[in-house]
């Protein structure tokens, strides 16, 4: 029954997406779009979003009803999967994650539609063209769902705990195992797993919208500020989700994976980081086009690049092509995604090349030392950064394919390349906001950065005297405080100026100043978040202490990093699908018990190796991170590490996303009033 409902929903969504592509294109091509084709557009958007929602609801229903005749449920769910992981199972495996993808894409199509037809908005052929492009992307993803990644196949042959053969025909004779294996044990360990993937998808899939506007503008030969403003808005939306999703993903890795880190530069992480870098570059370079009419061609490259990288990332992580040598997952989705990647990239860049003559904007940069020069530097650094990640991720594959020679590229390479680029970015963030547009004169810029520089150096001196002389940490503190101080200085001086003109107290003017340019101040808040994150990363990477595996019998004590750790015993809990052994470790400091950490090992009946869950003792200064590699009644093998200022990283990431969110809050107001101010720039700030 549910297979039938799900299959119907997916087919409906597929047809609606195709219809949207056709109707959108026809409406866009018509100079005065007739109301009939607009009505047709609206219907197709509504049908697509309702059908995609229906597919997700049916999948959830099948999971909650333990309907093991549905192949996805049989292979990825178990009766014993607890709430909320039974809900999250819907996107914990390949086919279900494509359903989520389709739903998010349809939701974005609906949001684009709403925005384009909102009261006061001028309906524009650009919007119809973008909807058509979204529809075309939808055809691909819903097409996956009815072919190679069909979650609603009927299980026709069942083994004890899984489905061994299934049929896409919903009327096939259904058999189902009595119970399934359940999702990957790693994915049912922490609440963050339930919210991190949807957030990441909202960001990842959201990059389809700016891409769609870019394609629409290219196809309709409508270069200029209209597409840019729309792409900028939707990039911000996607970027906020992507930033939050990446942060929560790192947090999840830290809380769950038990190795004490949060970022390993593995392909899955790189796949989300590359589009983030490119989207961040676009957020900045779009401002240059908005203010100065420059870099339009580059902006097209960035929106196409960001979207292509999301497809590349999906291919890399879903096809199994890059997983370690021993685990090839054979799935037909690999070639399909690869084909789509080629179509998207080659097609979009061919379209771009064919229009290049019309969109090339004249060079009009007066000086490199100017706000737009700062944005150029930022774009250059972010592009090089993305290139480093891309090259490092793909190089082993390419080398092996072309020469048969093998090479591994991992953390040491990425760290070595990323650290200098990140410092350069921090410095650019410190100086950029202080530069005026067009030409920056030293006598204007120096007063704006001098006091912040003193404050930053003083912060560095304070760190050296009170805490540490480790170079990276001190430099991160200096660079980070400089970024924050420059922004704060700009805020204060603008508030003072506005206070002077109105004869009011400067402090009371701050909210008004911030509200008057949410885009800029949201950006500064995001910069502050990056600065916080940079300091936290430098601290955790350089100041962490660790204790390698020690054997501890119950009652044993061990001293570590000023703490005394006491192993008080082991308890075992058995739930239907797992056996969890928890070590109870008291954390003592200065003859006083400070807390209790409970690292654990879980053995799932369905999985080979035990899954380690760390026990973390959180304090303001640092986390004490305990994990066990072995638990017995007689003894445990304990590892311990400190993670200084770890929480600041989560704070920084979320502040960064919050800055983007704040800049969005003010978009509507700015949009109506602002026209392309190519000449006669305002005073910088």
Partner 1 sequence: MADPAGRRSLFGWVSPLLTLALAAFVVVSLTTADPVDRDRAERIGKQVRCPACEGESIAESPSSYAADMMGYVREMIGEGRSDQQILDRLMAAYPRSQMLDPPFQTRTALLWALPAAVLVTGLFLAFFRLRKPVPPESTGEAP
Partner 2 sequence: MKRRPGRAAVGLAVAVAAATAVFAGVFATRLSEESQLSDSPLVGAHSPVLTLPLLDGSGEIGIPDPDAQVTVINFFASWCLECRVEHPDLLAVAEAFSDSGLRLIQVAYQDRPDDSIAFLNELGVSPLVSYASDPGSRAAIAFGVFGIPETYFIGPDGVVTARFTGPSDSLSLGHQIDLILGRGR
Binding site for partner 2 (CB under 8 A): 297, 301, 305, 308, 315, 319, 321, 324-328, 330, 334-335, 338-339, 341-342, 345-346, 349-350, 352-353, 356-357, 359-363, 394, 397-398, 401-402, 603, 606, 608-609
Q: How far apart are CA 384 and CA 278, in angstroms?
A: 10
Q: Of the two residues 409 and 561, which places its CB atom closer to partner 1 in the complex? A: 409
Nearer to partner 1, 19 or 265 (CB): 265
Residue 315 binds: one of partner 2, partner 1, none (C-beta under 5 to 8 A by kind):
partner 2
- The interface partner of residue 595, options being partner 2, partner 1, none and the CB cut-off 5 to 8 Å by kind, is none
- The b-or-e profile of 599-624 (16+ CB within 10 A means b, else e) is bbbbbbebbeebbbbbbbbeeeebbb
Closer CB to partner 1, residue 132 or residue 288?
A: 288
We find the least distance from the C-beta atom of residue 454 to partner 1, in angstroms, to be 5
Q: Which residues make Cβ contacts (< 8 Å) with residue 86, sequence separation at least 6?
A: 63, 64, 77
Residue 338 contact among partner 1, partner 2, none, beta carbon within 5 to 8 Å by kind: partner 2
User: Among residues 366 and 559, whose Cβ is nearest to partner 1?
Assistant: 366
The beta strands (E) that lie in 507-652 are given as 546-552, 557-560, 563-575, 578-589, 592-597, 600-604, 611-613, 615-618, 622-631, 636-644
CB of 630 to partner 1, least distance (A): 7
Rounded CA-CA distance 308/96 in Å is: 22
Using a 10 angstrom Cβ sphere, with 0-12 exposed, 13-18 middle and 19 or more buried, the burial of residue 572 is: exposed
Report the residue number, 324 or 672, with the smaller CB distance to partner 1: 324
Residue 456, classified by CB atoms within 10 Å of its CB into exposed (0-12), middle (13-18) or buried (19+), is buried
Q: Which is closer to partner 2, CB of 432 or CB of 610?
A: 610
Q: What is the nearest approach in angstroms of partner 2 to the Cβ of residue 347?
A: 9
> Backbone dihedral region of 545: left (phi > 0), alpha (psi from -120 to 50 degrees) or beta?
beta
Q: Which does 493 bind (CB under 5 to 8 A by kind): partner 2, partner 1, none?
A: partner 1
**Min dist. Cβ of residue 150 to partner 1 (A):** 27
The answer to whether 411 and 378 have CB atoms below 8 angstroms apart is no
Structure tokens at 14: 């597929």
Residues 118 and 135: their CA atoms lie apart, in Å, by 20
Q: Given the complex with partner 2, which of 300 and 437 has the nearer CB atom?
A: 300
- Residue 346 touches which of partner 1, partner 2, none (CB < 5 to 8 A by kind)? partner 2
Distance of closest approach, residue 639 Cβ to partner 1, in angstroms: 6
146 binds, among partner 1, partner 2, none (CB under 5 to 8 A by kind): none
The one of partner 1, partner 2, none whose footprint includes residue 22, by CB under 5 to 8 A per kind, is none
Residue 471 interacts with, from partner 1, partner 2, none (CB under 5-8 Å by kind)? partner 1
Whose Cβ is closer to partner 2: residue 89's or residue 393's? 393
Contacts of 96 (CB under 8 A, 6+ apart): 59, 72, 76, 89, 90, 151
CA distances from 334 to 139, 149, 292, 320, 341 (A): 17, 10, 42, 8, 11
Minimum distance, C-beta of residue 411 to partner 1, in the bound complex (Å): 6
Q: How far apart are CA 125 and CA 220, in angstroms?
A: 8
The 3-state DSSP class for residue 527 equals helix
CB atoms within 10 A of CB 38: 16
Choose among 155, 195, 198: nearest CA to 178: 155
What is the C-alpha to C-alpha distance for residues 59 and 62, in angstroms, rounded to an integer?
Answer: 5
Q: Choose the one of partner 1, partner 2, none that binds residue 612, judging by a C-beta under 5 to 8 angstroms depending on kind.
A: partner 1
Which partner in partner 1, partner 2, none is near 359 (CB below 5 to 8 A by kind)? partner 2
Distance of CA 340 to the CA centre of its chain: 21
Closer to partner 1 by CB, 127 or 372: give it.
Answer: 372
For residue 433, give the nearest of 368, 485, 496, 386 by alpha carbon.
485
Nearer to partner 1 among residue 359 and residue 453 (C-beta) = 453
Contacts of 395 (CB under 8 A, 6+ apart): 407, 409
How far apart are CB 42 and partner 1 at their closest, in Å?
42
CA nearest to 659, candidates 282, 236, 281, 249: 236
- With CB under 5 to 8 Å by kind, the binding choice for 334 among partner 1, partner 2, none is partner 2
CB of 359 to partner 2, least distance (A): 8
Residue 30 or 415: the one with the smaller Cβ distance to partner 1 is 415
Chosen from partner 1, partner 2, none, partner binding at 603 (C-beta under 5 to 8 Å by type): partner 2
As measured in angstroms, the least distance from the Cβ of 305 to partner 2 is: 8
CA distances from 96 to 141, 150, 430, 607, 639 (A): 12, 8, 43, 21, 36
Q: Are 485 and 456 in contact (CB under 8 A)?
A: yes
Smallest distance from the beta carbon of 273 to partner 1, in angstroms? 13
**Min CB(214)–partner 1 separation in Å:** 20
Query: Smallest distance, Å, CB 542 to partner 1?
Result: 7
Judge whether 60 and 87 are in contact, CB under 8 Å.
yes
Which residues are CB-contacts of 598 (< 8 A; sequence separation ≥ 6)?
A: 582, 583, 584, 585, 615
> Given the complex with partner 1, which of 62 and 248 has the nearer CB atom?
248
Task: Provide the minimum distance between the beta carbon of 304 and partner 1 in the complex, in angstroms, as a whole number.
Answer: 17
Cα separation of 577 and 556, whole Å? 31
**Enclosing H/E stretch for 430:** helix 411-431
Name which of 349 and 588 has its Cβ closer to partner 2. Answer: 349
Nearest approach, Cβ of residue 348 and partner 2 (Å): 9
Residue 11 interacts with which of partner 2, partner 1, none, CB < 5 to 8 Å by class: none
The residue (of 608 and 675) whose beta carbon lies closer to partner 2 is 608
Q: Which does 629 bind (CB under 5 to 8 A by kind): partner 1, partner 2, none?
A: partner 1
């Amino acid at each position: 029954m549910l297979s039938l409902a799900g299959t119907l929903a997916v087919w409906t969504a597929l047809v609606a997406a195709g219809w949207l592509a056709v109707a959108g294109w026809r409406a866009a091509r018509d100079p005065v779009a007739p109301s009939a084709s607009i009505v047709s557009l609206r219907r197709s958007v509504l049908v697509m979003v309702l059908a995609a929602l229906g597919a997700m609801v049916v999948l959830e229903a099948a999971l909650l009803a333990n309907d093991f005749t549905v192949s996805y449920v049989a292979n990825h769910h178990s009766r014993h999967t607890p709430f909320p992981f039974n809900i999250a199972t819907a996107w914990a495996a390949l086919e279900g994650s494509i359903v989520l993808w389709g739903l998010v894409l349809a939701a974005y199509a609906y949001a684009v539609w709403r925005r384009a037809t909102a009261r006061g908005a001028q309906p524009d052929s650009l919007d119809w063209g973008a909807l058509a492009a979204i529809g075309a992307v939808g055809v691909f993803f819903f097409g996956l769902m009815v072919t190679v990644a069909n979650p609603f196949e009927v299980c026709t042959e069942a083994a004890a705990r899984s489905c061994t053969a299934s049929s896409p025909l919903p009327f096939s004779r259904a058999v189902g195992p009595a119970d399934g294996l359940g999702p990957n044990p790693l994915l049912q360990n922490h609440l963050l797993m339930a919210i991190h993937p949807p957030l990441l998808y909202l960001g990842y899939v959201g990059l389809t919208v700016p891409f769609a506007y870019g394609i629409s503008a290219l196809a309709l030969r409508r270069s200029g500020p209209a597409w840019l403003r729309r792409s900028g808005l939707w990039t911000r939306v996607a970027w906020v989700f992507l930033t939050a999703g990446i942060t929560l993903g790192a947090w999840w890795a830290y809380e769950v994976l038990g190795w004490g880190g949060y970022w390993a530069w593995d392909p899955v992480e790189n796949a989300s980081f590359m589009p983030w870098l490119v989207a961040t570059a676009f957020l900045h370079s779009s401002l240059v086009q908005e203010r100065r009419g420059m870099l339009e061609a580059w902006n097209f490259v960035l929106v196409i690049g960001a979207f292509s990288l999301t497809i590349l990332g999906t291919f890399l992580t879903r096809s199994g092509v890059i997983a370690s040598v021993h685990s090839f997952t054979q799935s037909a989705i690999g070639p399909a995604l690869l084909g789509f990647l080629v179509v998207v990239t080659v097609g979009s860049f061919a379209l771009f090349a064919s229009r290049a003559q019309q969109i090339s904007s004249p060079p009009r940069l007066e000086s490199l030392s100017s706000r737009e020069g700062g944005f150029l530097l930022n774009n250059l650094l972010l592009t090089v950064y993305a290139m480093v990640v891309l090259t490092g991720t793909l190089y082993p594959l390419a080398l092996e394919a072309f020469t048969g020679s093998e090479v591994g590229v991992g953390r040491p390479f990425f760290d070595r390349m990323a650290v200098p680029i990140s410092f350069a970015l921090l410095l650019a963030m410190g100086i950029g906001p202080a530069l005026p547009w067009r030409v920056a004169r030293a006598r204007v810029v120096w007063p704006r950065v001098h006091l912040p520089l003193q404050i930053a150096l003083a912060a560095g001196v304070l760190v050296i005297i009170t805490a540490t002389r480790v170079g990276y940490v001190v430099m991160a503190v200096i660079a980070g405080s400089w970024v924050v101080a420059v922004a704060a200085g700009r805020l204060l001086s603008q508030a003072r100026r506005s206070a002077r003109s109105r004869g009011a107290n400067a402090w009371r003017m701050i909210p008004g100043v911030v509200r008057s340019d949410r885009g800029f101040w949201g950006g500064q808040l995001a910069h502050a978040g990056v600065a916080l994150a940079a300091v936290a990363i430098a601290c955790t990477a350089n100041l962490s202490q660790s204790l390698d595996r020690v054997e501890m019998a119950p009652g044993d004590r061990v001293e570590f990093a000023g703490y005394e750790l006491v192993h008080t015993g082991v308890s075992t809990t058995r739930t239907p699908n797992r056996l969890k052994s928890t070590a109870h470790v008291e954390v003592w400091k200065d003859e006083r018990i400070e807390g209790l950490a409970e690292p654990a090992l879980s053995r799932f009946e369905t999985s080979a190796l035990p899954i380690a869950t760390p026990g973390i003792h959180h304090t303001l200064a640092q986390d004490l991170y305990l994990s066990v590699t072995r638990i017995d009644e007689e003894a445990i093998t304990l590892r311990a590490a400190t993670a200084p200022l770890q929480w600041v990283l989560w704070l920084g990431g979320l502040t960064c996303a919050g800055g983007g969110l704040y800049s969005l809050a003010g978009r509507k107001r700015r949009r109506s009033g602002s026209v392309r101010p190519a000449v006669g720039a305002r005073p910088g700030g």
